[in-house]
Structure 1
């Protein structure tokens, strides 16, 4: 009896246990709904409004600043005095050069009179030709000294005039880097003046988009302060080297004078756009599945994927342009393509419209 009991218990336990249920293999994936579009480029970059021409002005001579006639934001006209140096030393040098000129003219006049007297004596054969030649040489040397003194005097006169720093363009003062009482060297920038009637927007473009964007002609600019209004812009300059800090390439986009609200330093947005001749279907590079040298995509229909061969027409940034194999409205897997198999059931984590 004791030997039968374990067998009965084992049979009862086997009868009570149920077979394990099979779980269906459903893979989570990400997907997009295909959409054809003729938009080839649609990018925006923010930048700063700057003056196309900005002059950093400095004195052409060194000295001590005795007068500052402008502040930051002052509107100036061409030829207007901005700063002045102490002219005393320059005037003394000018007076010295003038005195040297007068002395040279006196010596020249004396040499000319001597030459005339000896010419008269030579006609009467009272002096030899050698003596007359020496007087002619002395007169020519005196005349050359006068010309040298005249040049020195003109140079010192110019130096005296350089004690006043004047604006070379019509514009607005954007910076002042020196004050009254400060001694500055020749050529040191002390005032910056920006030309206000020519403005542009400066932006930084990533290196992978430089070649594409430099060819686009449809460029529009809008101010952050007035986002509802946009004006046409034109790419004026593309930097040949990247900025060492941001590693982006500087684009300078000219804006028309009709955008009078654009003040220097304002934030602006530059929009680049272009279209293709025919609508295109684009998918992310991660959507392609490569097998045996052929390219395919996984198309989702009723929660089940199937592998569809496609023809790649080219690249568009980080996307791939498909020439055939799929159509607008189909759902294509964009992440997880290497773990799928035909007939696999999937759960879409996110279905978005393709750009």
Structure 2
């Protein structure tokens, strides 16, 4: 059976249908509707803020010195190890004293030469005084001998001072403890050549102790307000139940470059605690009524400012509301401005929302099943 080709009129009718099909196949599919997200919310209400702020710290000595030799040289002996207790005047390390002794011998020889020149100048001056009295020389000649004697005397004094300096230099070959304490670090070993002033050991002096901890930037001014007030802080050593009173002694003037926190030193006096122990510093914040608090998860950053999502119960749409924070209270943040009691705020799912997005309240599974 032979099928006749479609007529010209049929082809004219078929062509638009084929084009429409091709265009439909090439066009992009319609975007899927945005899912209706479920969010947790809470109604803002005034509450009570306060409680105890705790900071992890460490027990340190009030004075901790990095000791080094006052002259350069090669270390031939180190007499202490990490953790050793030493008394004032105890030997810590020793340099090779050979070059220093040679310098001391050279200074002594220079002193002997200066002494001889001075004695000769003094004898000449005495003889020329007698010659002047007999009229054999002029006064000018005696004055020259007197000037020579004065120069010899100055050279002698210089030589004596140089001997004293070289004696001190030789004594500096021995590094001794300038106070009683504990060696907390060793920074050089025997055989090492060190420059003058290079740290060799670190000595924590016996005496008052500090608990050192860091506070965030928003709490620096508040902690500084306790400075100099005895017993404003409480310190509890980890693994112990005893609580020690402490006084804020010093708050750093600038933040740490890496942690952006302020270093605080709290004085605990001469409490019998070991260096390096971990401690918890506790500060009581006075309780205040009429404070709005939200979970930390409810706050996000928008345009460089803190904000929360506020839900409109009529339209079920969310809108970003900038807020001002007054600090933290445990796992909650204290809102200083931007919210009023009665507002409904999203507390979970804040990072997947956009302004004007429609949401629904999250209902636990048992509540949905009961309905």
Partner of 2:131: 121
Q: Deviations over 1:261-285 (max 9, x none)?
A: 3x22222111111325x64443339
Kindly indicate whether the alpha-carbon contact (under 8 Å) linking 1:31 and 1:348 is maintained by their aligned counterparts in 2: no
- Of 252, 265, 272, the residue aligned with 2:276 is 265
Kindly indicate whether the alpha-carbon contact (under 8 Å) linking 1:232 and 1:256 is maintained by their aligned counterparts in 2: no
Structure with bigger RCO (C-alpha 8 Å, 6+ apart): 1
Q: Quick check: which one's strand share is greater? A: 1
Kindly indicate whether the alpha-carbon contact (under 8 Å) linking 1:48 and 1:203 is maintained by their aligned counterparts in 2: yes
Partner of 1:248: 261
TM-fit CA distance, 1:59: 0.7
Kindly indicate whether the alpha-carbon contact (under 8 Å) linking 1:234 and 1:255 is maintained by their aligned counterparts in 2: yes
TM-fit CA distance, 1:191: 1.0
| Alignment CA distance shift 1:140-1:51 (3 Å) | same
Aligned partner of residue 197 in structure 1, secondary structure: coil
| Alignment CA distance shift 1:118-1:64 (3 Å) | same
TM-fit CA distance, 1:347: 7.6
Q: 2:269, 2:363 → 1: CA distance?
A: 49
Give runs of aligned pairs for residues 329-344 of structure 1, distance below 5 A. 333-335=344-346
Q: 1:203, 1:122 → 2: CA distance?
A: 82
State yes or no: 1:102 paired with 2:116: no
Kindly indicate whether the alpha-carbon contact (under 8 Å) linking 2:46 and 2:293 is maintained by their aligned counterparts in 1: no
Q: Deviations over 1:288-331 (max 9, x none)?
A: xxxxxxxxx99xxxxxxxxxxxxxxx964242369xx97xxxx9
* Gapped regions of structure 1 (runs ≥ 5): 1-26, 288-296, 299-313, 340-344, 350-355
Aligned Cα root-mean-square deviation (Å): 3.7
> TM-score when scaled to structure 1?
0.71
Give runs of aligned pairs for residues 296-315 of structure 1, distance below 5 A. none
Kindly indicate whether the alpha-carbon contact (under 8 Å) linking 1:61 and 1:159 is maintained by their aligned counterparts in 2: yes
State yes or no: 1:219 paired with 2:233: yes
Partner of 2:41: 30
State yes or no: 1:235 paired with 2:245: no
* Gapped regions of structure 2 (runs ≥ 5): 1-37, 300-309, 312-323, 328-332, 348-354, 365-371
Kindly indicate whether the alpha-carbon contact (under 8 Å) linking 2:39 and 2:346 is maintained by their aligned counterparts in 1: no
Matched residue pairs, number? 295
| Alignment CA distance shift 1:280-1:231 (3 Å) | farther
